[in-house]
């Protein structure tokens, strides 16, 4: 058996395809949620908060439950592919600046606190649940590919 072809960055064509397909999927899900929960730049972006909190939970769940047992192309397809395109720091940053510029400093601060606080709580809950769902039920931390 021959080793998979890898680019200079260390990604095989299968890895790149997994990220590409995952990216299309995650972006589509993100747009659908934005359409379901529309907002103006001057309004609190509930859709951005939800995608980031849900993404943190799902990534924590996957890291604890699946990462040790699935091939690298699955990890990059799910992590950087689907969840990387579903969640977004740039939209959060723009939303916070727009709220502050519109004079809603409390909304901007609330967005920061909720996004970071709920995101970390969601990631922790995902890791705990994922470790319980994993065979053996023991937590194992592995590096997350970004």
Contacts of 90 (CB under 8 A, 6+ apart): none
For 58-87, write each residue's pLDDT tens digit: 999 999 999 889 999 999 999 999 999 999
How much is the pLDDT for 138? 54
For 72-126, write each residue's pLDDT tens digit: 999 999 999 999 999 988 889 999 999 999 999 999 999 999 999 999 999 999 9
For 5-46, write each residue's pLDDT tens digit: 444 467 899 999 999 999 999 999 999 999 999 999 889 999
Task: Give the pair of three-digit tokens for residue 18.
Answer: 């997994």
Q: How far apart are the first and last CA of the chain?
A: 29
How many CB atoms are closer than 10 A to CB 122? 20
pTM over 0.85: no
Task: Give the pair of three-digit tokens for residue 17.
Answer: 């395809």
Do 24 and 34 touch, CB atoms closer than 8 A? no
Task: Give the pair of three-digit tokens for residue 27.
Answer: 């972006």
Task: Give the pair of three-digit tokens for residue 26.
Answer: 């995650």
How much is the pLDDT for 27? 96
**pLDDT confidence bin for 1, thresholds 50/70/90:** very low
How many CB atoms are closer than 10 A to CB 135? 8
CA distances (Å), origin 98, targets 44, 86, 105: 9, 21, 10
């Amino acid at each position: 058996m021959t080793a998979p072809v890898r680019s200079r960055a260390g990604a095989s064509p299968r890895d790149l395809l997994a990220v590409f397909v995952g990216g299309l999927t995650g972006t589509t899900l993100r747009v659908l949620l934005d359409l379901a929960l529309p907002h103006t730049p001057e309004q609190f972006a509930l859709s951005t908060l939800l995608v980031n909190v849900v993404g943190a939970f799902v990534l924590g769940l996957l890291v604890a439950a699946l990462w040790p047992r699935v091939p690298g192309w699955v990890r990059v397809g799910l992590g950087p592919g689907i969840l990387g395109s579903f969640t977004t720091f740039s939209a959060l940053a723009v939303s916070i600046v727009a709220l502050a510029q519109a004079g809603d400093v409390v909304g901007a601060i609330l967005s920061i606190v909720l996004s970071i606080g709920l995101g970390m709580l969601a990631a922790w809950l995902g890791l705990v649940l994922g470790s319980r769902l994993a065979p053996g039920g023991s937590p194992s931390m592995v590096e997350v590919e970004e």
